[in-house]
Amino acid sequence: MDGPANEPVRKWLMDNTSLVSAVRLPNNLFFEHAGTEVGSDMIILQKNTDKTSLTSEKQVFLKSRNLSNGEKINNYFQNFQRVVHTKGYMGTDPYGKPAMIFVHEGAIPGIASDLKKMLTDDFSKRLDTQLYLNNMLATPKPQFQMPKPTEQD
């Protein structure tokens, strides 16, 4: 999400999908089970190839900027409202580059609770159920055929 070199990928995504949710997850999300502390993002998109223009929110999603400390950050995360965390501080990523470190002191239950609130709100505001239903009706259902018995059966 943060890399300026990935802007063409984000542009293609915004041209062909609707942004349902983008959330930055805390660095300690995987610590209990994998023993690693790394930042990650969750992006939920809805296929939508009939769009004619990008909203201002989606245009913000395309761009990254450099902070004064050298860290690159996606403009979508310009405030911390889209980050699941209880505290944040300046640190370094696993490669020694400057990075914002976000942690959630509520461990997995706290992360799950906060994430559920964000996703519930995002889905209620941004998931186009009519588009979903139209695509479900237009998509041909696969036809399952029973395999023919062989002599070994």
pLDDT digits (tens, 9 = 90+) for 45-78: 999 988 888 888 889 999 998 888 778 889 998 7
Higher pLDDT, 4 or 140: 4
Evaluate whether residue 40 is within a structural domain.
Answer: yes
Evaluate whether residue 146 is within a structural domain.
Answer: no
Q: What percent of the chain has pLDDT over 90?
A: 50
Give me the domain span that covers residue 45: 4-129
CA distances from 108 to 32, 46, 81, 100 (A): 8, 27, 19, 20
Indicate the average pLDDT of the chain: 88
According to DSSP, the residues that pair with 87 across neighbouring strands are 103
In the chain, alpha helices (H): 7-16, 31-34, 56-62, 107-126, 129-138
Q: For position 152, what pLDDT does the model report?
A: 65
The pTM for the full model equals 0.81
Please count the structural domains in the chain. 1
Evaluate whether residue 49 is within a structural domain.
Answer: yes
Evaluate whether residue 52 is within a structural domain.
Answer: yes
User: What would the pLDDT profile of 5-25 be if each residue is shown by its tens digit?
Assistant: 999 999 999 999 999 999 999
